[in-house]
Amino acid sequence: MVERKTDLWVWELIKEAHLEKVLEPEKSSVIEIQKALSTSSKRQTGKTGLPEYIGVVNDFVIVIENKSEISRHIFMDNNDVLDLTTLGTENYAVNGAVWYAKNIAKKTNFKKIFGVGVSGNEKHHKITPYFIDERGRYVELEDIETFIQFSHENIQTYYLREVLKEETNKEKELAMILKDAKELHEALRTFGSIGDQDKPIIVSGILLALNEIEYKNFSIEELTGDKLKTDGSKIYEAIETSLKRSNVSPETKLDKILNQFTMIKDNSQINMFHESLGKTPLKFYTEFIYNRIFTNIRYTNSSEDILGRFYGEFMSYSGGDGQSLGIVLTPRHITDLFCELLDVDYKDNVFDPTCGTGGFLIASMHHMLEKAKEELSEKEYEIASFNIRQNQLHGIELQSRMFTVATTNMILRGDGKSNLLNEDFLKQNPHKLQEEQYTVGMINPP
């Protein structure tokens, strides 16, 4: 019964990634794979193997094995090598997934296979992917929180980044970000007549709403164009829930941010059914943002300020680069350079007095977490990671729209507390700021 609950939860993850039509339980409609499984039992008896879920996404095979207990997640032998004897393959999720993947590699023409071990439940779990090539060689990848990486839209990028470790990927990522920003700019203008300064707010609000999908408080399918309870009202409710979940406080700060998002429910044009789209513009935007932006921010470990890039691109379409409005957004190669020059450490307390969309803070968090991972044990890293996200990143931003984008940015990156102030840095009491004991300061002044 407990195992069945895990199966159902994993199936929900599969549906979240829109893979329910290609990942099948215990069998594959691909004859070549099914033939390979017919002699691939985890007991290694030569009988049929029945993985929890298996399927083909683009030209990648994905095979998933799950166990209800985290203690049965993975088993290594005395040499710290994945145990692929019956002791491991029968009783442990990762070992079983890799066993099936190796058999598929050996007995089919598929060359790129992900074996994924899942253990636990919705609240406490581990998801560990391995990549297996056509020769049966395997490599462990970073743990993940979702199967979004394996969606049709994302799996090639995930392969390039995590398996091939392509050095040029930063440039490719940036090119895709700019391309997506241009497409979204056109859609916001064409279907909603949204002003350039309001576009980042719509993007930010939808991202916060999408953050509630995993808590079952929001679903894109529920955006039906209902006139009584509009799509905008549903998104606004999810935004409010997301902000409260992230402990955005005090109440005045929460109210100030929420006030920025009222346009999502109040703008009649984006909430009306659009004939050529077959849905409301708001639902169209939400689908676009989910597939092209949300997954990159929520599930990618990167120092890139993606929302900041969108903000800058939107402003450039209004006839300038935003600098006439006092907006100076710092590109990643500069924020990374600052972190390297200052040798930012996981113990640092970082402050940006003119933080904009949070570029310096995002880069700092990325570098601090990387340092912590290199130097600390797994248990120590968990503690350090929590402190970094909750207590060691601080910023001040004067412009309310950019402050809202920055807050969204930090929430999506796991900084639930968001130590950001929507105030004028030049009017702060320096003695009061010194009490915070910042150890690193970064600034790109407007």
Tally: H helices and E strands in the chain: 19, 10
Order of strands, edge to edge, in the sheet holding 419-421? 419-421, 393-396, 350-352, 440-441
Cβ–Cβ under 8 Å, residues 422 and 400: yes
DSSP state of 331: P
| Distance, CA of 91 to CA of 112 (rounded, Å) | 25
Return phi, psi of residue 60, to 5°.
-105, 140
Cβ–Cβ under 8 Å, residues 218 and 344: no
- Residue found by looking up tokens 């083909």 in the block: 56
Residue pLDDT, tens place only, 285-327: 999 888 877 866 665 666 666 777 777 667 665 544 444 444 5
Q: Interhelix angle for 231-245 vs 199-210, to 10°?
A: 70
- The Cα angle at residue 169 between residues 311 and 200, in degrees rounded to 5: 10
Q: Both tokens of residue 262?
A: 């009222």
Cβ–Cβ under 8 Å, residues 397 and 445: no
**Taking Cα atoms as reference points, which of 188, 211, 420 lies closest to residue 314?**
188
In the predicted structure, residue 167 carries a pLDDT above the cut 80: no
Q: Both tokens of residue 308?
A: 């900041």
pLDDT at 169: 53
Is the alpha carbon torsion for 235, 237, 242, 248 positive or negative? positive
> What average pLDDT does this structure show over 42-69?
94
Quote the mean pLDDT of the chain.
Answer: 87
pLDDT at 171: 59
- The Cα angle at residue 243 between residues 291 and 364, in degrees rounded to 5: 75
pTM more than 0.85: no
The least confident of 2-16, 161-175, 181-195, 251-265 is 161-175
Band the pLDDT of 331: cuts 50, 70, 90: confident
- Cis status, amide bond into 200, omega within 30 of 0: no
Band the pLDDT of 418: cuts 50, 70, 90: low
